[in-house]
Homo-oligomer: A and B are copies of this chain.
């Protein structure tokens, strides 16, 4: 096995994922549930070492480059937001305080938008990764998830972005609302139906939600159809509301398998040119770009 060069880290609210990199190759990977939400500032170093301590060569510094909520005010160290319009990836990163002499930890700052107020932490690295893999790409990035994000890219900069509470709403409604007993499983036809309703009349969302329950009571709507329809309703409402983003643009969906496919399917019904890209790949590509920046600066300083 090649010698470890550096470590890439994706550190969100509820997860921690690490990749050991040698040259351009991932030679190790690990993850835990020690997300930012569970840790106070002094606990981050221990949570990281629990995964990577064995990887670290003794007697030298290893660079660790972190993206995500780890840079929030409640994170390891606050990495202040950069304001759009700007390139997705910063030129410089924020050093996190460490005890272990083998660690040199950098945190990548997120992006903010003053009006309408919006923030991201982590997605900007995926966007940078997408651009690194597709130089000169202009268009719109859609990042499905708990808090879905849409970002407009032009000439290498994030021009504007918008976050939607779609995934979290789906989780709340399917786990905690009166609908929870009427939803389980997944029957594809329900998604297309909900999607059409959500796209056509996004303003009717609060009413359509109760209709799911009423159809269960009156028409025997199956829990699997109802759950897929709920997903379609929410994603349809999001995409209808995000129209200023995708209209007349090409869209890259950066996300995981099933959910990314639903967004691609939805956009295709609107004849939007769309392609999905695995989120892990773009995250890693963005972290590699950050590492390249660090090396460049070290070389500059050494010269």
Cβ B219 vs Cβ A117 within 8 A: yes
Segment at the interface with B among A19-27, A97-105, A133-141, A202-210: A202-210
- Nearest B residue to A179 via CB reads B165
Chain B residues, Cβ within 8 Å of A204: 241
Cβ of A147 under 8 Å from chain B: yes
Cβ B234 vs Cβ A206 within 8 A: yes
Tell me the interface secondary structure of chain A in the complex: helix
Q: For A163, give its contact among B113, B214, B237 (CB under 8 Å).
A: B214
- Nearest B residue to A37 via CB reads B178
Chain B residues, Cβ within 8 Å of A250: none
- Chain B proximity of A280: nearest CB distance (Å): 23
Cβ B211 vs Cβ A118 within 8 A: yes
- Copies of this protein chain in the complex: 2
Segment at the interface with B among A88-96, A166-174, A257-265, A269-277: A166-174
Q: How many residues on chain A are close to B (CB under 8 Å)? A: 44
In the bound complex, CA of A234 to CA of B203 (Å): 11
Cβ B215 vs Cβ A117 within 8 A: yes
Cβ of A2 under 8 Å from chain B: no
Q: Name A100-123 residues within 8 Å CB distance of B.
A: 112-114, 116-119
Cβ A166 vs Cβ B214 within 8 A: no
Cβ B237 vs Cβ A119 within 8 A: no
What per-residue 1/0 map shows which CB atoms of A168-210 lie under 8 Å from chain B?
Answer: 1100110011100000000000000000000000111111011
- Nearest B residue to A72 via CB reads B217
Q: A205-B237, A207-B241 are in contact. List 15 more A-B contacts (CB 8 A).
A: A81-B218, A114-B218, A116-B207, A117-B214, A117-B217, A117-B218, A119-B218, A164-B207, A165-B206, A166-B206, A168-B177, A172-B177, A176-B176, A206-B237, A206-B241
Partner-B contacts on A (CB < 8 A): 73, 81, 112-114, 116-119, 146-147, 162-166, 168-169, 172-173, 176-178, 202-207, 209-211, 213-215, 217-219, 234, 237-238, 240-242
